Structure 1
Amino acid sequence: MRIPHKAENDKLPMANDFDWNDIPLILALARTGSMSATGRELGMDGSTISRRIAAAEKALNLRLFTRDTTRWHLTEPGQVFVEHGEAVFGNVQSMLLASAREADTVAGPVRLSAIDFLFDHWLVRHLPAFTAQHPEVEVQLFADNQNVSFTRREADFALRLAQPTDDAAVLMRRLGDIGWAVYGAGPYAQVPRERWGEQPWIAHEEAKCHLPEMRWLARLAPEPRIALRVNSLSTMVQACRAGVGLALLPCIIEGRDGLVRLSQGAEVFRELWLLSHRDAGAIGRFKVVAAWIAALYEESRHRLCD
């Protein structure tokens, strides 16, 4: 098939100002042969139909219809147009129907990005119930706290511990708070609060000194004894469990496997945000996952916050 050059395209009858919304109108008039019947079918008055037919013929530089005293008749170019127009319109209807079915279908992949501890200590344990209810949804978990592009489908959802910068393409939903408490193990399992400032601590890397957890530690001890710095909460949990020092950890960690919670209540709170593309709510599987995460937070609120 030879592709015409631009100069040749300019001579083609399909002009740029043809309104594709006129295709159903032309098909209806060809089918009924009557202006009044077409008007009743499409809910339009005769003068509007006549004006749009004339505009379409002018844009195409073709005479599509002739008219006698009783009805409208297709010309030969009009017959060719209607032949192809019916195929195009049928394909568009099939496309819209298939798209609507796909939008309502609760099936397919859903990519969720979050910091590792939210998966390890919260979401993963609840996945069996979700997958049993929605076996055709393929949940994909990516442990990451970097910014993601929803437009490029780097993620469908992201759980973040701070409100991101406003983005018109991103739907931001604040789920609630997550609490942090002091934990210890081994020789640090029974340290009283008044001696916390003297103990060795497991802390985040220095680049994260702006985090609320690090600011809390600076208030507790302006020059704390840092026994270990890490860039992963999961590593911090393991180091605390091994007896390296005290650590400020999410309350969801709970006291288990040798970890002892020393705080009576949460020492620090951070906001938990669910992010998605603004259009995700129109797709069945995304609606289901968003509702599941929100309901799961409400169900787990006490354990997450205190």
Structure 2
Amino acid sequence: MKTTLDELQAFAAVVDTGSITAASELLGLTISATSRTLGRLEEKLQTTLLRRTTRRLELTEEGTAFLQHARAILASVDEAEEQMAARRMRPAGRLRVDAATPFMLHVLVPLLEGFRARYPEVELELNSNEGIVDLIEKRTDVALRIGPLKDSTLHARPIGTSRLRILASPAYLKRHGAPAEPGELREHALLGFNQPETLNDWPLRDADGNTVHIRPTIASSSGETLRHMALAGLGIVCLSDFMTREDRDSGRLVQVLAGHTLDTPQSINAVYYRNTALAARITCFVDHVVEALGQRPFGI
């Protein structure tokens, strides 16, 4: 049977205080509990560590030798705990973050300078994936996900919302005109996703009251690619506010079918596996993102 830290602490406390009674007060235990703990340690080691007299306790030769090891172990544990406490105060280590390319470029990258200034000892590793990644398989600490969450094994912390808009460049609209109602989209070049198909559900209602599902004229797996195609005047696109705010503010992209567009905010969450002791570097990163964004809808 292995020696426990409680037994080592009891042994060291008895030696330091000179009596089981004083050691019990120091450890917050009863005298009988301290005595049993000390006896259990000697039984495991099959040796006598302390010679008990009517007046005091004296270390045996074996006790003197074992005390050095016990103190070294206890000091090592104290040092480890202090280091963990220091890491909580000053987070450190590698932090792997995953997000879709548009969110990485338009939301996270602008926040990194401030994060690095606050937490210089955190080593960031940023990965962009257009689909949903397995956090364990990809050794990811935290991922930023947009839309409904399905994995119940993940802890999710909301960081904001972003609404969808139908957009086109002024050059495209000058050449082809703007659709006046959703049904007229059939006459236009539409930019959409090749997967999953649900991303081609646009926040519009057709004449029958059904959600408009478009068939892309040009399809891509990347929202950022679709944005650049829209800026190039290749068609009409449906994108989230967080990646088009500057384009809309500058007039590079303009909203179409505004009166027909449904207010459908997308939830954005930071997700990570549920741990009893969450690493400080994850907490400080998510806190920084939430603080910087102010939990306001992106693009507004």
TM range (shorter): 0.7 to 0.9
1:125/1:52 Cα in 2 relative to 1: closer, same or farther (>3 Å)?
closer
Amino acid at match of 2:189: P
Q: Which runs of 5+ in 1 are unaligned?
A: 1-14
Residue aligning to 1:296: 292
| Aligned residue among 192, 207, 212 for 2:179 | 192
| Aligned residue among 164, 175, 180 for 2:150 | 164
1:163-196 Cα distance to aligned partner (Å, 9 max, x none) = 13111xx321123422111111223365133223
Residue 174, structure 1, aligned to residue 158, structure 2? yes
Give the paired residue count: 284
Contact 2:160–2:298 at 8 Å: present in 1 too? no
| Aligned residue among 221, 226, 229 for 2:219 | 229
1:113-135 Cα distance to aligned partner (Å, 9 max, x none) = 11111122222233334434444
Residue 28, structure 1, aligned to residue 18, structure 2? no
Residue aligning to 1:262: 256
1:40/1:280 Cα in 2 relative to 1: closer, same or farther (>3 Å)?
closer
1:135/1:35 Cα in 2 relative to 1: closer, same or farther (>3 Å)?
closer
Between 210-219 and 102-111, the greater mean CA deviation after superposition: 210-219
Q: Which runs of 5+ in 2 are unaligned?
A: none
| Aligned residue among 84, 90, 97 for 2:75 | 90
Secondary structure, aligned partner of 1:271: strand
TM-aligned CA deviation for residue 79 of structure 1: 1.7
Contact 1:213–1:248 at 8 Å: present in 2 too? no
Secondary structure, aligned partner of 1:147: coil
1:130/1:50 Cα in 2 relative to 1: closer, same or farther (>3 Å)?
closer
TM-aligned CA deviation for residue 209 of structure 1: 1.2
TM-aligned CA deviation for residue 237 of structure 1: 0.7
CA distance in 2, matches of 1:26, 1:126: 52
Contact 2:202–2:212 at 8 Å: present in 1 too? no
Contact 1:281–1:287 at 8 Å: present in 2 too? no
Residue aligning to 1:69: 54
Amino acid at match of 2:84: S
Between 193-202 and 64-73, the greater mean CA deviation after superposition: 193-202
CA distance in 2, matches of 1:65, 1:220: 81
| Aligned residue among 208, 223, 239 for 2:196 | 208
TM-aligned CA deviation for residue 204 of structure 1: 0.8
TM-aligned CA deviation for residue 142 of structure 1: 1.4
Amino acid at match of 2:125: Q
User: What TM-score does the superposition give when structure 1 sets the normalisation length?
Assistant: 0.81
Contact 2:160–2:296 at 8 Å: present in 1 too? no
TM-aligned CA deviation for residue 272 of structure 1: 1.1
Query: What's the RMSD between the two structures over aligned residues?
Result: 2.8
| Aligned residue among 149, 152, 159 for 2:135 | 149
CA distance in 1, matches of 2:18, 2:145: 61
State how 1:13-24 maps to structure 2 within 5 Å. 15-16=1-2, 18-24=3-9
Amino acid at match of 2:164: W
Residue aligning to 2:231: 241
Amino acid at match of 1:295: E
Amino acid at match of 1:240: A
1:147/1:75 Cα in 2 relative to 1: closer, same or farther (>3 Å)?
same
Amino acid at match of 1:147: V
1:44/1:130 Cα in 2 relative to 1: closer, same or farther (>3 Å)?
closer
Runs ≥4 residues deviating over 6 A = none
User: What TM-score does the superposition give when structure 2 sets the normalisation length?
Assistant: 0.82
Between 158-167 and 98-107, the greater mean CA deviation after superposition: 98-107
TM-aligned CA deviation for residue 263 of structure 1: 4.2
